[in-house]
Amino acid sequence: MIDLTPQMDVRQLVARISVPSDPDMVDVIIYRRGETPIKVDLWAVLQDKPGAWNGLLQPEDIIAFLPKPFIRVWFIGPFGSTGEVKVRQGWDVYETLASIGGVDPAPMTLDEAQLLVRRGPEMLRVPAKKHPEQRGLVLEPGDVVMLDQPKMIRVIVTGFAGASGEFIVREDLPLSQLMLKAQGAGPQGTLQGVLLFRGGEILRVDATGPLTGQPPSQFRLQDGDFFYVPKNERFLYAFGEVNTPGKYVFQDGERIFAADLLAQAGGTTDRGSLRRVLLLRPDETGRYQPTRFNLDEFIKDGNVKANPELRPGDLVFFGEPKGLTLQTIAQLIGGMFLFDSIVRR
């Protein structure tokens, strides 16, 4: 029995009696006549946590200090405390990890690491870093917790990438995932023909696999790899009776048809006609070969053959005048752009 002094609360009571060295392993219950028993989080009270009940005691209160049920688990590896750990029954792996000081020292790559929980013949895996709203794995007696941290490397992505810089990534990270971390190609860049500087070698790799549906590059990243995302020089050109003639960029993974180019060029002028469209495309020798089609058949009747798919380097004339020759076309183009800017791609 304790003599009650005026304004005595739970913290003052604990200061006058002997309590277990680990207050978190004790349940405190106050039985008060005519009221529902009051459960007190002793550890929270002693830590002065907001919301912890630390009310005034009353005469004839019965205060019970009951040991909480606990289990024994083991932590092996770079943790704040290792070996056998007494854990409150019902705690998950993240609550327990926090109670022993977390990972020591905390690696920069904790996002990539996993916790391995050996439970009898099973090996369970959970992320080492708890994500918001993620429910933790509740530990059971005899669990052994270890840290599985993949080998990390440093690589650099620069050039016309969305976000240039140094990246610390898993050694087995696919190239496409690395480019996602670099936010892909910027507005002027392309992931086709990325330059890789590795040691004394310079390699050209295609990182557009996920965009084009092609299998991604199979090579593995290496520590110190330096990637340069090149400028996108893949263009096609719209001329003739369109509102905005000029060159248009082929973005990675993009498919452009004649009707798409017409829309990008602002449609036809008042004098324009879609019945006479001329497509110039270089052959194997580099000579431009003409193909004429009636885009009006696609617009009005849905004839897909009248809406050809375009390629980088194509020149398209909308509303082709009768009697137009390649010599005349060259003169028209030369009047709008320098020749080298037209054929470069």
Q: Each residue of 311-320: pLDDT tens digit?
A: 988 999 888 6
Give residue for tokens 């490397």: 153
- 128 by Cβ neighbours in 10 Å (0-12 / 13-18 / 19+) ranks as buried
Domain identity same for 48 and 36: yes
Residue 336 CA to residue 345 CA, distance in Å, equals 17
The confidence score (pLDDT) of residue 213 equals 47
pLDDT of residue 320: 65
pLDDT value of residue 239: 87
**CA–CA gap between residue 261 and residue 309 (Å, rounded):** 10
What's residue 339's pLDDT? 42
What CATH number is given to the structural domain containing 166?
3.10.560.10
- Distance of CA 92 to CAs 105, 138, 141, 145, Å? 21, 4, 12, 12
Residue 309 gets which letter from DSSP?
A: B
What total number of domains does the chain contain? 4
Domain that holds residue 210: 152-229
| The two structure tokens encoding residue 152 | 């990390």
Tokens 């194509």, residue located: 314
Judge contact between 242 and 173, C-beta under 8 A: no
The answer to whether position 4 is within a domain reads no
Residue 109 is predicted with a pLDDT of 62
> Does residue 85 share a domain with residue 31?
no
Which amino acid, one-letter code, is at 160?
A: F
pLDDT of residue 209: 62
Q: pLDDT tens digits, residue range 150-169?
A: 888 999 999 999 999 999 88
On whether both 251 and 315 belong to a single domain, the answer is yes
Tell whether 121 and 135 lie within a shared domain. Answer: yes
Classify residue 203: in a domain, yes or no: yes
Q: Does residue 327 form part of some domain? A: yes
Among the candidates 122, 148, 174, a domain finishes at 148
CA 125/CA 230 separation, integer angstroms: 40
The pLDDT of residue 105: 62
Per the CB < 8 A criterion, the answer to whether 161 and 182 are in contact is: yes
- The length of the chain in residues reads 345
> What's the confidence (pLDDT) of residue 326?
59
In a domain, residue 107? The reply is yes
**Which of 130, 148, 166 is a domain's end point?**
148
Asked, for residue 338, whether it belongs to a domain, the answer is yes
Q: Which residues of the chain have pLDDT under 70?
A: 1, 19-22, 105-110, 209-218, 320-345
DSSP state of 140: -
Asked if residue 90 belongs to a domain, the reply is: yes
Same-domain pairing of 54 and 94? no
pLDDT of residue 212: 46
Is residue 209 in a domain?
yes
Q: What CA–CA distance (Å, rounded) separates 3 from 95?
A: 38
Query: Does residue 218 form part of some domain?
Result: yes
pTM for the whole structure: 0.55
How far is residue 263's CA from residue 249's CA, in Å, rounded to a whole number? 14
